[in-house]
Amino acid sequence: MIAGSLVAIVTPMQEGGALDLDALHRLIDFHVDQGTAAIVVVGTTGESPTVDVDEHCRLIQSTIEHTAGRVPVIAGTGGNSTREAIELTRFAKQAGADACLSVVPYYNKPTQEGLYRHFRTIAEAVDVPIVLYNVPSRTVADLANDTIVRLTEIPNVVGLKDATSDLVRLVDLTNRLPANRDFALYSGNDDTALAFMLLGGHGVISVTANVAPRQVADVCDAALRGDVANARRLNAKLIPLHSSLFVEANPIPVKWALAELGWIHNELRLPLTPLSPRHRDTVRRALREAGCIARPATKVYS
């Protein structure tokens, strides 16, 4: 089981919007050096809705090749079409992904039975570890605990990214998971990740780790060791950053922050737009307070 800080890595883009794989590789090296436990590529933070299928596959392939086994790679392969999700999952397995992150189908508003059949069909079609991803604030559909418990009966459904921030729901789920079943529980929200881990979670799939990988990893390490006092102390320094990275829709602020630190261009694809000027001092101040590291070379991005 992968535990600790898993980064939901951004997708760097060149001016004009083309993929910037060189910048992606530099970020991967940075994460490996700073103690990130795994790279999660082409998720929400990776702008999966705005890359086409060829680009999606290229990002997965390039991440796996450059990471070269130094840390696990979890490929975002979900979709609102079960058939498309299977195709992406099959590609990721062939490319060598350690696991796949499969989001609840969005826009369609399936029933719980539809969600169960969607994930079961993917898992049965492709023999690769699958982490479920529940983020109802974006998908509208909400994967209920009853359905998650049913899905744990499928051997290669191995975990859940829970972006609900509902800690009561987490406790209910942990109480109902089969005692003999290893099932990873990851917070999908940085601001509640510490509490999530102290209540039985195994880590966080983090936005903040994009700019503060060592700091987020240290919080996770302390929490998972049961060193609550140190975990709380370290986490307190990150709270302003957790908050400021969501002053506008993710990944708008985090891409601006990475550009401010010199790692990438501040480039997104429509309908996403660059961070509003009124928020920039807030994000800049939070980066400084958290001790975030600029790229160790002459800043070439703006």
**Which residues are marked as active site?**
133, 161
Ramachandran assignment for 234, one of left (phi > 0), alpha (psi -120 to 50 degrees), beta (any other): alpha
Q: Distance between CA 195 and CA 192 in Å, rounded? A: 6
Q: Distance between CA 175 and CA 291 in Å, rounded? A: 38
Contacts of residue 205, defined as CB under 8 A and 6 or more positions apart, other chains included, come to 6, 7, 8, 40, 43, 101, 161, 186, 187, 188
Local structure of residue 41 (DSSP, 8 states): E
User: Could you give the dihedral angle defined by the CA atoms of residues 268, 187, 257 and 253, in that order, rounded to the nearest 10 degrees?
Assistant: 50
Q: Distance between CA 162 and CA 189 in Å, rounded? A: 8
158 contacts 99 by C-beta, under 8 angstroms: yes
**CA-to-CA dists, residue 147 to 27, 32, 66, 157, 239, angstroms:** 36, 35, 36, 12, 32
**Does residue 214 sit in helix, strand or coil?**
helix
Contacts of residue 81, defined as CB under 8 A and 6 or more positions apart, other chains included, come to 105
